[in-house]
Amino acid sequence: MPVDLRGVRVLVTGASSGVGEATARHFAGRGARVALLARRSAELAQVVAGIGDDAAGITVDVTRSEDVKAAVADAAAFLGGIDVAVNAAGVADFALLDDLDDSTWHRTIETNLSGTFYVSRAVGLLMRDSGAGSIVNVASDLASFGVAGLAHYSAAKAGVVGLTRALAIELAPDVRVNVVCPGPIDTPMLRSGLEAEADPQQALSDKQASVPLHRLAQADEIARAIAFLAVDGTFATGTALAFDGGTSAM
């Protein structure tokens, strides 16, 4: 049976869809109060409505440092403090080097890496002052190996792993900081990328075949891994958990 998390106060970014949404729903389903942060207000409102009174939605662009500080303060006010923070906000746009323009590079780095830093800094300092807390970042298996067309994404996610390890040392012993590195996940972000292919169904089959388990992860599977690191993995900090169906073993 899942551990009852009533009284636990959780902040989740990227919570309007995909892993962020699944994580917010997972924690709420176990009794936690949840502050959901995302850029898309309409989608965010729908998720919050589905969770109920123990959730609040806060619209924020994580690439804006000052806005993140305000959003974290609002989340802490709603929750009465923050025990767990999950950085799941991210973007991934396929672009080979010939087409990888500065705008795409900066958007990818700013959202995936800088956004994770801005939230972790604001939350981590609050947690340190309160004497306890747990941060879980979401990176990727592509933090460990390269794929043509995703140099910008791999760089950002590798940065998230390095950031996690450094923050784990700086915020110890009061705050634990860990990162989960998923393989391909069946999310709207991945599906939109597949739909851009000439043959989306073949692209899906190829993607599944590239995973030793021959399937994509479901977002709720990643949410459970995040919850383990956040709550149950009490001796883990600075840990990068590969949760990728075997892709990093190849």
What is the residue extent of each domain of the chain?
A: 9-182+220-243, 185-216
Q: Is 118 a catalytic residue?
A: no
- Summarised one tens digit per residue, pLDDT across range 38-88 is 999 999 999 999 999 999 999 999 999 999 999 999 999 999 999 999 999
Helices 151-171 + 102-109 axis angle, to 10: 30
pLDDT tens digit sequence for 115-174: 999 999 999 999 999 999 999 999 999 999 988 999 999 999 999 999 999 999 999 999
CA dihedral for 122, 224, 18, 157, sign (positive or negative): positive
Task: Report which residue type is found at 217.
Answer: A
Kind plus residue range of the DSSP H or E element containing 159: helix 151-171
CA atoms within 13 Å, Cβ hemisphere of 106: 5
The half-sphere exposure of 233 on its side-chain side, counting CA atoms within 13 A, is: 23
Q: Exactly one of 27, 117, 153, 243 is catalytic; name it.
A: 153
Model-level pTM greater than 0.85? yes
The topology under which CATH files domain 9-182+220-243 is: Rossmann fold (3.40.50)
Distance CA 12, CA 184 (A): 20
